[in-house]
Structure 1
């Protein structure tokens, strides 16, 4: 790790940051929920894509109350979760990495505290990271149904002297970082809400990068770049 690096702990979202999986997960939801009707499947996919970063269970329950008039019973939601989870395990094993992931993991894995904080199912994520041979590079892999905010709170409490940087691609990531006071940057190449996060980045002064590759190159260049990045990333938490 460069001695010039001014953050010494890194937290990554998963979908759209590590894996190019956002569109595949939308397709999986559409496939499963279409058994309850084409229109409701399309409505849910639209709802889901605006709430990336939120656990699937929370999303399904909120959609059912807010949009679906409570038509799904508990067994419906459980069936959707089970079938969707099976599809996710398959797609994660085959989907592509986002650009720069391997370089970032090689640079920071086992060099600084390196965590995943995702809305995806935690057990599923750990299985996938083991299958893809990445689990040994992470200090910890955290996911749903525990909210992302709670994971960030625990990390801050466990490492009170660490200067964290959280990288995400969704409003829920930004909201969690802001609530907890963790410096944050967006990557948008694989986000399903590019316009929304561009507006958030502009309104709150959040650094916005294309992907981890661009972020990695930026932080490698100089101590000035690193200081500037962490300064901007931290301002939105004030």
Structure 2
């Protein structure tokens, strides 16, 4: 694609880009928080939709401390996150959840670009799913939470001595955009037309020449 003519490294978000998972993740939050009032869970889902690139650890903390206004121990956050992850490993391990046009791009271009996943999803869960779905081979590394995405990108750039102008990040959330901007690399929005309004580069389809 012409958008990547000056790039050699592509960093990928996963949810909503490689994997059609947003609906399943919303259901997962409802399932693990079913003991709480529905209106409180609705507020969390609004936050989840507006901050797709943030980790579940941040979202569960937001649920308890901001929505419910109660202190929560890290152990409790980890317990809810583990329960959530177990649901995701079952529900998202189907190749029908993969975004086929993105997979086609990965298949055709994984030798042309150095490619990595930097995701707000749990890193261990993500590596499990990528292996199960047969896409791990297209990426040099697959990293996720609990490390924030901004830090994941920063560490990856330093560790590999990547050149900023040769690197870009593809994502579907304002958090992805922020991670790219704060690390001084180009950002391409995808699968979220709200990002098109920001005036930044936007990819309508990977099927375009």
TM-score (structure 2 length as normaliser): 0.89
Judged with a 3 Å threshold, the aligned counterparts in structure 2 of structure 1 residues 135 and 106 are, in CA distance, closer, same or farther, namely: same
CA distance in 2, matches of 1:156, 1:216: 28
Matching of residue 140 in structure 1 with residue 141 in structure 2? yes
Q: CA RMSD in A?
A: 2.2
Offset of residue 60 of structure 1: 1.4
Structure number with larger C-alpha Rg: 1
Alpha-carbon shift at residue 72 of structure 1 (Å): 4.7
TM-superposed CA distance for 1:154, in Å, is 2.0
Q: Deviations over 1:75-126 (max 9, x none)?
A: 5433321211101111220252124122111122233210001000000110
Q: SS state of the match for residue 59, structure 1?
A: helix
Tell me how far 1:173 sits from its aligned partner: 0.3
Question: Where does the alignment leave 5 or more consecutive residues of structure 2 unmatched?
Answer: none
Question: 2:69 matched to 1:56?
Answer: no
Map of 1:5 onto structure 2 = 5
**Partner SS state of residue 34, structure 1:** coil
For the residue of structure 2 that corresponds to 1:114, the secondary structure is strand
Tell me the CA shift for residue 15 of structure 1.
0.3
Which residue matches 1:85?
85
The match for 1:161 is 163
- Asked if 1:68 corresponds to 2:71, the answer is no
Partner of 2:46: helix, strand, or coil?
helix
CA shift, 1:216, in A, is 5.2
Which residue of the partner structure matches residue 236 of structure 1?
none
Question: Is the CA contact (8 Å cut-off) linking 1:108 and 1:114 kept in structure 2?
Answer: no
What secondary structure, in the 3-state scheme, does the structure 1 residue paired with 2:92 have? Answer: helix
- Secondary structure of residue in 2 paired with 1:143: strand
Call closer, same or farther: CA 1:159–1:104 in 2, change over 3 Å: farther
Give the deviation of 1:62 after TM superposition: 2.8
Task: Give the distance between the partners of 2:169 and 2:78, measured in 1 at CA.
Answer: 31
- TM value normalised by structure 1: 0.78
Q: How many residues align?
A: 205
**Secondary structure of 1:150's match?**
helix
Question: 1:27-66 counterparts in 2 under 5 A?
Answer: 27-66=27-66
